Amino acid sequence: MTAPVCLALSIGALLIGLFAGFSIARSRARNPRRPPGPTVSELLGRIVEASRTGVVVLNHFGDVVIHNPRAEELGVVRSNQVDARARKAAEVVRETNQLVEVDLSPLESRGGRTPEAVLGEVRPLGDGFTVVETDDQSEAVRLEATRRDFVANVSHELKTPVGAMALLAEAVLDAVDDPDEVRRFTTKVLHEANRLGKLVTELIALSRLQGAERLPEMHAVEVDAVVREALGRARLAMDSTGIDIATDAESGLLVDGDRTLLVTALSNLLDNALAYSPPGSPVSVSRQRVDGFVEISVTDRGIGIAEDEQQRVFERFYRVDKARSRATGGTGLGLAIVKHVAANHGGEVTLWSKPGLGSTFTLRIPAHLDPPSLEPRVEPVRAGAASSAAVPSKAVPSPAEGHVNDHGGTA
pLDDT tens, 193-225? 777 776 676 666 666 666 544 556 778 999 999
Length of the chain: 411
Specify the domain boundaries for CATH 3.30.450.20 within the chain: 42-136
Q: Which range among 116-120, 149-153, 260-264, 365-369 shows the weakest confidence by mean pLDDT? A: 149-153
Higher per-residue confidence, 275 vs 397 = 275
Q: Say what the pLDDT of residue 3 is.
A: 52
Q: Say what the pLDDT of residue 345 is.
A: 86
Q: What is the pLDDT of residues 33-82, one digit of tens each?
A: 666 778 888 888 888 888 889 999 999 999 999 999 999 989 899 998 99
Higher per-residue confidence, 90 vs 140 = 90
Q: Say what the pLDDT of residue 50 is.
A: 86
Higher per-residue confidence, 398 vs 405 = 398
Amino acid found at 181:
E
State whether CATH 3.30.450.20 applies to domain 42-136: yes
Q: Say what the pLDDT of residue 398 is.
A: 45
Q: What is the pLDDT of residues 343-391, one digit of tens each?
A: 888 899 999 998 888 999 999 999 987 644 434 444 433 333 333 333 3
Euclidean distance between CA atoms 318 and 275, whole angstroms: 15
Q: Say what the pLDDT of residue 360 is.
A: 93
Specify the domain boundaries for CATH 1.10.287.130 within the chain: 138-214
Specify the domain boundaries for CATH 3.30.565.10 within the chain: 215-411
Q: What is the mean pLDDT of the chain?
A: 76
Name the nearest CA neighbour of 410 among 238, 269, 262. 238
CATH class of segment(s) 215-411: alpha beta
- Please return the burial class of 186, using the count of CB atoms within 10 Å of its CB with bins 0-12, 13-18 and 19+: middle
Q: What is the DSSP string of 88-124?
A: HHHHHHHHH-S-EEEE---SS---TTS-S-EEEEEEE
The CATH fold of domain 138-214: Helix Hairpins (1.10.287)
